[in-house]
Amino acid sequence: MTAQLLDGKALAAQVRTQLAGRVAALRSAGCQPALAVILVGSDAASQVYVRNKIAACEQAGIRSLHQTFDADLRESELLARIHALNHDDSVHGILVQLPLPPHIDAKRVIEAISPRKDVDGFHVASAGALMVGQPGFRPCTPLGCVRMLEHIGLHDLRGRHAVVVGRSNIVGKPMALMLLGMNATVTIAHSGTPDLAHTCRQADVLVAAVGRPRMIGADMIKPGAVVIDVGINRGADGRLCGDVDFEPAREVAGWITPVPGGVGPMTIAMLLSNTVQACDQE
């Protein structure tokens, strides 16, 4: 068996094309979706992520406001900038690129963003809406994973077991809640879970978000399972890789996402989708 590839790059391109049509309709009605992206400091990876997000905005017809600040920016100044954007009716989404410099409290910054403009889905109000199943902005990475499952026909996971390896508030817990919303039986595991390999082998849908290069080997995958690799790491050879040992895993899984070109492009596509949704709700 060789797994079919879940091509996030191709699917994200389809999403952007669909969004472009919605954006055109909104612009005709007098509302152009706009996303403000704030970058503090000069972290190389963050700069790449921000450039990719801005380019994706342009492709979809979304106006982007790229605001870059030096790493010594005071927290009070950043909060003031967010406050101004909250009250700018021409801006529909606000994203503060993480990580922030150590002297800035990321939680305080995220909570300063208006829930109406929290297109990253990290605000406590967004988390609460997800918890109780009410409408709201969903975190972009888990939402992208769900869209990929739906793309291959898995709209309802009733009777299937999903395992999420990684319990962070950014990916692990929201991912588990969204899978529960698809009627899956869900287990959250992590790198210290006893007999992790056994737990993973129970999964019909395995989501790897632990942040360790090639940690999930082929022997940890149930034959025919859907494997979604959220991780992005530098291997010992300097090349980008995921949390899954891709080539051996591909011989066992039924579907698998590549790294790069899997979850990453879909995360950005969902950010754009949330921004368009925010504009549409005006």
Strands (E), 184-237: 185-189, 205-208, 226-229, 233-234
97 has catalytic annotation: yes
Closest listed residue to residue 217, CA positions, set 186, 238, 189, 196: 196
196's CB contacts (< 8 A; 6+ apart) are 165, 189, 220
Per annotation, catalytic residue among 97, 117, 243, 277: 97
Nearest residue to 95 via CA among 282, 281, 267: 267
Task: Quote the CA–CA distance of 1 and 4 in Å, as a whole number.
Answer: 9
d(CA 224, CA 254): 4
CB atoms within 10 A of CB 196: 18
Q: Which of 53, 117, 173, 222 is catalytic?
A: 53
Q: Rounded to whole angstroms, how far apart are CA atoms 93 and 35?
A: 5
Is 53 designated active site?
A: yes
- CB contact at 8 A, 19 and 272: yes
- The catalytically annotated residue of 118, 120, 229, 245 is 120
Catalytic residue numbers, as ranges: 53, 97, 120
